[in-house]
């Protein structure tokens, strides 16, 4: 099947999946993933392995958009509203997940580099999945506000930790040159990837804001937003920077630059749905459900340790903060989703450390299957329990269109 | 999401923006400026060392004297330079060949004629290609095609148009540490002469210290009698390989070396696993990461049923089909996985390039020690060497003993174990635990 046809099929399947998901009252993203599994190489093979490789750029673009949206949460007013407590919660939930997963993997006899790589991927909370569920249910309230900030901070923390771990491993495994040159190389690499990416994102964000004043029509605003994100991803790749951090910084710069930023984000929101749908269907197509069965005890322990770390870490982090008891109880469950960023990090690990690629891919992708089905359901349950879900889409209700992200 | 539209934005001020923009530009500029040079490996392109005329080298040597007095070395270097320049016309002039890529003017490496129609060089200068453009000392260009590859040293024999020029004398004498030599080659009208010192030798290889930077891939090393001793790998480790030993191996390997490879290892379907792998074709036991088969989605455990129109029913039929493959020309494979077959397009690469990928990929998955899992009798009955490692069970990678024993306990049919012993991987059937 040629790529154009496969993209068309993906979008049609996503549309059908979205409706069916509403019928059985599960989040749309779960439906997208499952339909991806069905039409992908694992089952019907309508979307072949070659198609997935050829459409890889779609996933890159979608991931860039996702992180751009996440970056826009780093707007000072948002953080003023939720307070500094979110930093504490993030540090607790992500670090506890890292520590518990590391303990489990070390006791299973895994080598240290593998342990570190898997533990850092375990820290991640899925940005797009969480955002999609929040938007689908039009969530509002203290838990939702914290959740947005938590996801943004979590992703930033994970990207930084990932940079540190990969720099350290590259240094430890380096065999060429003296230790000093290897250390310099690793240190420069880390700083370049983090600070350089932030600098690129900030520059592009400022430029985008200047151009936004001239983009009065909503169509022009959409072109500007998508174009800027693509330039951000492309330029980051070209310069050897992190496209993930760059687009995160781009979103943050745009949100903090001026009120044009809000208009641009709203315009972008109208373009998001097909790309997000394609991203999740493709992600589902890459999953191998039988790998879940092949997880083994180590994989199961990894999954449980991550979930426990997130839920317990959030509770500990919330201590001393004034939040309703239901929020305190439910917040951790909303952090369990894991997908896009974990998959993105796994791809980077595959390139940088090919020796560990097989094990990391196997465990992470298998656990993503579980968390992407369970996570959105837990988030949905939490939103309903705390009363923050203002819209529960009725099945086959064509008037309720909560898909656009704003 | 709600945002306070009336709150002032953090970056609203003009000066704040300017400062941020300046800081960003400075960060990017400094980062690019301070970037360390990429570490040189056998796979990266090396440019040949700076070309010294004798007076220039002496001047450079004198500068080094001022910085680091080491008179003995310096004097030797000067002498060697003069010597190298003197022997170059006789020893190197008719025998250097260099490689120009796509019309650019900088060669990627050098080579040396070892027979009328063969040039010896190192694989790292070829960039994964099996046909390269050569240019000899008189400036004439011609093609050299890969004829043989020695995996131990990475030296490569290229077939090229015959020349009736003089050939170097190859010596089998081994230079000992401390011996002096000269790496010399001519590119176009310019001579490259690099005095060299043997810092260690053994197993047919040398580590070379040279004055003037690392030697380019394929650069020939001559002793003080003008005999050809070794050919440089061209990496930062200063490795070079003795020509006499390698030539023996290269001549012996020509007849069986496939020129192109798809990067798979395979075996006949093992006994007892007919239900899993079927009775036809050959089973893939290993796929080189990044190799042609890997890029097309073939994985260990897949069964190759056909190449093009040819049905595969034995190892020999597959070998013959793959030997006929040409690097860069796609072939269709019929591959079966879990009983479902599909057609896959694979583009073979030069065999030594696939070999380089395989070495780069490192050890692969860790697996579990076989001796820790089964008693000796059971290992012997299954045909598993005790020193082997079990990499996967029924297609699932295993990293702990617990994972393997669990699979054994759960299974009711013979299990397919992927076993690795040394560099060899193979499937065996093992009965589940009773």
| CB atoms B17 and A257 under 8 Å | yes
What chain A residue is nearest to B24 in terms of C-alpha separation? A199
Fill in the DSSP letter of residue B216.
Answer: P
| CB atoms B365 and A110 under 8 Å | no
Helix (H/G/I), strand (E/B), else coil: B309: coil
Evaluate if residue B188 carries a pLDDT over 60: no
What chain B residue is nearest to A205 in terms of C-alpha separation? B21
| CB atoms A177 and B39 under 8 Å | yes
Evaluate if residue B54 carries a pLDDT over 60: no
Residue B347 corresponds to which tokens in the numbers above? 């583009």
As for the ipTM of the complex, it is 0.74
What chain A residue is nearest to B34 in terms of C-alpha separation? A188
| pLDDT tens digits for range B160-183 | 776 666 677 788 888 888 777 778
A397 inside 8 A of chain B by CB: no
Evaluate if residue B1 carries a pLDDT over 60: no
Taking every pair of Cα atoms in chain B, the longest distance, rounded to a whole number of angstroms, is 86
| Weakest mean pLDDT among A214-218, A388-392, B55-59, B381-385 | B55-59
Question: Which residues in chain A are closer than 8 Å to B365, comparing Cβ atoms?
Answer: 358-359
Nearest to B396 among A108, A294, A406 (CB): A294
Sign of the alpha-carbon torsion through B349, B353, B359, B360: negative
Residue B239 to residues B146, B195, B229, B381: CA-CA distances in angstroms? 22, 15, 13, 45
pTM: 0.53
Cα–Cα distance, B150 to B148 (Å, whole number) = 7
What chain A residue is nearest to B29 in terms of C-alpha separation? A196
| CB atoms A203 and B396 under 8 Å | no
Distance from the Cα of A76 to chain B's closest Cα (Å) equals 7
Burial class from Cβ neighbours inside 10 Å (0-12, 13-18, 19+) for residue A102 reads buried
Cα–Cα distance, A379 to A202 (Å, whole number) = 32
Cα–Cα distance, B147 to B351 (Å, whole number) = 11
Distance from the Cα of A70 to chain B's closest Cα (Å) equals 11
pLDDT band at B61 (very low <50, low <70, confident <90, very high): very low
Evaluate if residue B97 carries a pLDDT over 90: no
333-392 in chain A: CB under 8 A from chain B: 354-355, 357-359, 362
Residues composing chain A: 406
Distance from the Cα of A313 to chain B's closest Cα (Å) equals 26
pLDDT of residue B81: 60
Q: Which residues contact A129 (CB under 8 A, 6 or more apart)?
A: A27, A29, A337, A339, A340, A372, A375, A376, A379
Share the mean pLDDT of chain B. 73
Higher pLDDT, B64 or B253: B253
168-207 in chain A: CB under 8 A from chain B: 174, 176-177, 181, 184-185, 188, 191-192, 195-196, 198-200, 202-203, 206
Higher pLDDT, B308 or A405: B308
Distance from the Cα of A93 to chain B's closest Cα (Å) equals 24
Find which of A183, A196, A236, A290 to mutate to test the B interface (most B CBs within 10 Å of its CB). Answer: A196
pLDDT of residue B255: 43
Whether the Cβ atoms of residue B95 and residue B226 lie closer than 8 Å to each other: no
Question: Which residues in chain A are closer than 8 Å to B8, comparing Cβ atoms?
Answer: none
pLDDT of residue B108: 63
Task: Please work out, in degrees rounded to the nearest 5, the angle formed at the alpha carbon of residue A299 by the alpha carbons of A295 and A302.
Answer: 165
Evaluate if residue B101 carries a pLDDT over 80: no
| CB atoms A203 and B24 under 8 Å | yes
Helix (H/G/I), strand (E/B), else coil: A22: helix
| CB atoms B395 and A357 under 8 Å | no
H/E element, B187: strand B180-187
| pLDDT tens digits for range B400-422 | 888 888 888 888 888 899 998 87
81-100 in chain A: CB under 8 A from chain B: 81
Helix (H/G/I), strand (E/B), else coil: B135: strand
| CB atoms B403 and A298 under 8 Å | yes
Q: Which residues pair with B242 in a beta bridge?
A: B230
Question: Which residues in chain A are closer than 8 Å to B287, comparing Cβ atoms?
Answer: none
Distance from the Cα of A297 to chain B's closest Cα (Å) equals 7
Task: Please work out, in degrees rounded to the nearest 5, the angle formed at the alpha carbon of residue A209 by the alpha carbons of A205 and A210.
Answer: 120
What chain B residue is nearest to A190 in terms of C-alpha separation? B31
What chain B residue is nearest to A147 in terms of C-alpha separation? B1
Buried b (16+ CB within 10 A) or exposed e, A42-71: beeebbbbbbbeebeebbbbbbbbbbbbbb
Q: Which residues contact A393 (CB under 8 A, 6 or more apart)?
A: A22, A136, A137, A400, A402
Distance from the Cα of A375 to chain B's closest Cα (Å) equals 21
Cα–Cα distance, A98 to A309 (Å, whole number) = 8
| CB atoms A49 and B12 under 8 Å | no
Q: How far is CA B119 from the centre of its chain?
A: 19
Q: Which residues pair with B419 in a beta bridge?
A: B390, B426
| pLDDT tens digits for range B11-51 | 777 888 888 889 999 999 998 888 877 654 332 222 222 33
Higher pLDDT, A366 or B359: A366
Nearest to B34 among A78, A188, A203 (CB): A188
Residue A23 to residues A387, A395, A397: CA-CA distances in angstroms? 21, 5, 10
Nearest to B11 among A73, A253, A354 (CB): A253
Higher pLDDT, B199 or A89: A89
Whether the Cβ atoms of residue A146 and residue A388 lie closer than 8 Å to each other: no
What does DSSP say about strands B205-210 and B190-202: parallel, antiparallel, or unpaired?
Answer: antiparallel
Question: Which residues in chain B are closer than 8 Å to A140, comparing Cβ atoms?
Answer: 2
Q: In the predicted model, what is the mean pLDDT of residues B197-208?
A: 81
pLDDT band at B7 (very low <50, low <70, confident <90, very high): low
Fill in the DSSP letter of residue B370.
Answer: S
Evaluate if residue B144 carries a pLDDT over 60: yes
In 10 A of CB A406, how many CB atoms?
13
Residue A310 to residues A153, A369, B87, B194: CA-CA distances in angstroms? 14, 17, 72, 61
Question: Which residues in chain A are closer than 8 Å to B396, comparing Cβ atoms?
Answer: 291, 293-294, 296, 362
Alpha helices in A287-295 (DSSP H): 290-293
In this prediction, the residues of chain A whose per-residue pLDDT falls under 70 are: 1, 173-178, 259, 287-295, 350-352, 354-355, 357-358, 392-406
| CB atoms B9 and A261 under 8 Å | yes
Question: Which residues in chain A are closer than 8 Å to B36, comparing Cβ atoms?
Answer: 181, 184-185, 188
Nearest to B184 by CA among B59, B291, B96: B96
Q: In the predicted model, what is the mean pLDDT of residues B211-230?
A: 76
Question: Which residues in chain B are closer than 8 Å to A52, comparing Cβ atoms?
Answer: none
A258 inside 8 A of chain B by CB: yes
A256 inside 8 A of chain B by CB: yes
Alpha helices in A24-175 (DSSP H): 28-39, 49-54, 56-71, 76-82, 85-107, 112-122, 127-136, 142-173
A75 inside 8 A of chain B by CB: yes
| CB atoms A257 and B11 under 8 Å | yes
| CB atoms B1 and A148 under 8 Å | yes
Nearest to A64 by CA among A327, A279, A285, A244: A244
Sign of the alpha-carbon torsion through A195, A199, A200, A201: positive
Burial class from Cβ neighbours inside 10 Å (0-12, 13-18, 19+) for residue A282 reads buried
């Amino acid at each position: 099947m040629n790529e154009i046809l496969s993209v068309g099929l993906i979008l049609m399947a996503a549309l059908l999946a979205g409706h069916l998901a509403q019928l059985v009252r599960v989040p749309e993203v779960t439906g997208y993933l499952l339909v991806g599994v069905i039409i992908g190489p694992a089952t019907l093979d309508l979307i072949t392995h070659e198609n997935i490789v050829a459409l890889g750029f779609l996933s890159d673009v979608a991931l860039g958009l996702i992180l751009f949206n996440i970056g826009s949460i780093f707007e000072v007013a948002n953080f003023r509203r939720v307070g500094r407590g979110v930093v504490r919660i993030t540090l607790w939930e992500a670090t506890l997940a890292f520590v518990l997963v590391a303990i489990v993997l070390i006791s299973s006899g895994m080598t240290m580099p593998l342990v570190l790589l898997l533990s850092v991927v375990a820290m991640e909370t899925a940005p797009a999945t969480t955002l999609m569920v929040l938007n689908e249910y039009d969530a509002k309230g203290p838990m939702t506000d914290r959740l947005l900030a938590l996801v943004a901070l979590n992703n930033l923390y994970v990207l930084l930790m990932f940079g540190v771990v990969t720099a350290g491993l590259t240094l430890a495994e380096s065999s060429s040159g003296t230790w000093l040159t290897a250390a310099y190389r690793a240190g420069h690499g880390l700083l370049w990837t983090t600070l350089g990416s932030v600098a690129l994102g900030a520059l592009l964000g400022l430029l985008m804001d200047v151009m936004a004043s001239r983009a009065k029509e909503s169509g022009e605003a959409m072109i500007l937003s998508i174009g800027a994100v693509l330039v951000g991803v492309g330029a980051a790749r070209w310069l050897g920077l992190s496209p993930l951090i760059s687009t995160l910084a781009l979103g943050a710069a745009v949100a903090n630059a001026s009120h044009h930023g809000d208009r641009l984000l709203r315009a972008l929101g109208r373009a998001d749905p097909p790309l997000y749908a394609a991203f999740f269907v493709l992600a589902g197509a890459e999953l191998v459900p039988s790998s879940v069965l092949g997880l083994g005890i180590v994989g199961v322990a990894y999954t449980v340790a991550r979930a426990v770390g997130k839920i317990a870490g959030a509770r500990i982090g919330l201590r001393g903060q004034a939040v309703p008891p239901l929020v305190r109880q439910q917040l951790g469950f909303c952090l369990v989703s894991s997908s896009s960023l974990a998959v993105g990090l796994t791809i980077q690990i595959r390139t940088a450390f090919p020796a560990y690629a097989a094990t990391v891919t196997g465990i992470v992708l298998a656990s993503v299957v579980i968390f992407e089905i369970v996570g959105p359901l837990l988030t949905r349950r939490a939103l309903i329990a705390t009363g923050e879900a203002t819209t529960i889409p009725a099945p086959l209700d064509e008037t309720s269109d909560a898909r656009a992200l704003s | 999401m709600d945002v306070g539209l009336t709150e002032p934005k953090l970056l609203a001020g003009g000066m704040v923006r300017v400062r941020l923009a300046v800081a960003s530009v400075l960060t990017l500029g400094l980062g690019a400026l301070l970037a360390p040079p990429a570490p040189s490996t056998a796979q990266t392109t090396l440019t040949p060392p700076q070309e010294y005329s004798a007076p220039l080298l002496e001047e450079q040597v004198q500068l080094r004297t001022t910085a680091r007095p080491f008179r003995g070395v310096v004097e030797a270097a000067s002498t060697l330079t003069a010597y190298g320049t003197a022997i170059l016309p006789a020893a190197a002039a008719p025998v250097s060949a260099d490689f120009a890529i796509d019309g650019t003017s900088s060669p990627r490496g050098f080579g040396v004629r070892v027979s009328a129609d063969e040039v010896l060089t190192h694989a790292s200068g070829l960039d994964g290609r099996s046909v390269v453009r050569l240019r000899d000392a008189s400036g004439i260009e011609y093609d050299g095609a890969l004829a043989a590859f020695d995996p131990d040293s990475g030296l490569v024999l290229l077939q090229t148009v015959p020349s009736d020029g003089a050939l170097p004398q190859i010596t089998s004498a081994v230079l000992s540490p401390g011996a002096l030599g000269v790496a010399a080659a001519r590119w176009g009208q310019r001579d490259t002469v690099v005095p060299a010192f043997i810092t260690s030798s053994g197993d047919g290889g040398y580590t070379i210290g040279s004055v003037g930077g690392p030697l380019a891939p394929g650069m020939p090393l001559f002793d003080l009698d003008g005999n050809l001793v070794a050919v440089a790998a061209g990496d930062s480790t200063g490795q070079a390989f003795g020509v006499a030993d390698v030539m023996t191996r290269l001549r012996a390997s020509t007849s069986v070396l496939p020129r192109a490879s798809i990067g798979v290892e395979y075996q006949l379907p093992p006994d007892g696993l007919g239900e899993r792998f079927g009775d036809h074709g050959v089973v893939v036991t290993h796929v080189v990461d990044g190799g042609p088969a890997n890029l097309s989605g073939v994985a260990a455990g897949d069964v190759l049923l056909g190449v093009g129109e040819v049905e595969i029913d034995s190892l020999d039929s597959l070998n013959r089909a793959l030997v006929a493959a040409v690097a860069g020309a796609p072939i269709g494979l019929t591959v079966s996985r879990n009983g479902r077959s599909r057609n896959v397009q694979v583009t073979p690469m030069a065999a030594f390039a696939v070999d380089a990928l395989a070495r780069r990929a490192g050890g692969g998955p860790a697996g579990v020690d076989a001796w820790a899992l089964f008693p000796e009798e059971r290992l012997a009955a299954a045909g598993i060497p005790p020193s082997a490692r079990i990499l996967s069970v029924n297609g699932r990678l295993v990293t702990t003993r617990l994972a393997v024993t669990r699979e054994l306990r759960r299974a009711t049919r013979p299990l397919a174990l992927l076993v690795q012993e040394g560099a060899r991987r193979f499937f065996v059937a093992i009965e589940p635990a009773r």
